[in-house]
């Protein structure tokens, strides 16, 4: 499972604590990945990111998590480093 990083120590700790509290860390391997390159690539191609009315500026951790998941998947597929 991808964990977005860097999002700030306090947020990273909160994310890890929430996953551990839900038992996710026991069932899945947690992998930290930087989601910023995905967001930057989409921005460079003119793709405006928005989900439920929120933008990257409104909720960066939400979008960083998606970028991190993509980075981990690309790494597993041999298309890039995770």
First to last CA, the chain: 11
Does some domain include residue 31?
Answer: yes
Residue 8 has what pLDDT?
A: 81
- Residues present in the chain in total: 82
pTM of the model: 0.81
Q: Please enumerate in sequence order all residues whose Cβ is within 8 A of that of 45, keeping only pairs 6 or more positions apart, or say none.
A: none
Q: How many domains does the chain have?
A: 1
On whether residue 68 sits in a domain, the answer given is: yes
- For residues 19 and 54, give the distance between their C-alpha atoms in angstroms, rounded to a whole number: 23
- In this predicted model, what pLDDT tens digit does every residue of 29-56 receive, in sequence order? 999 999 999 999 999 999 999 999 999 9
DSSP code at position 82: -
Range of the domain at 53: 2-76
Domain membership flag for residue 55 = yes
Q: Answer yes or no: is 43 within a domain.
A: yes
Q: Is residue 81 part of a domain?
A: no
Backbone angles phi, psi at 18, to 5 degrees: -65, -45
């Amino acid at each position: 499972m991808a964990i977005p990083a860097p999002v700030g120590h306090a947020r990273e700790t909160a994310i890890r604590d929430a996953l551990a509290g839900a038992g996710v860390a026991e069932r899945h391997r947690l992998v930290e990945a930087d989601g910023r390159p995905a967001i930057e690539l989409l921005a460079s191609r003119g793709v405006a990111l928005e989900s439920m009315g929120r933008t990257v500026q409104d909720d960066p951790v939400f979008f960083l998590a998606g970028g991190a998941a993509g980075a981990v998947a690309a790494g597993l597929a041999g298309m890039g480093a995770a």
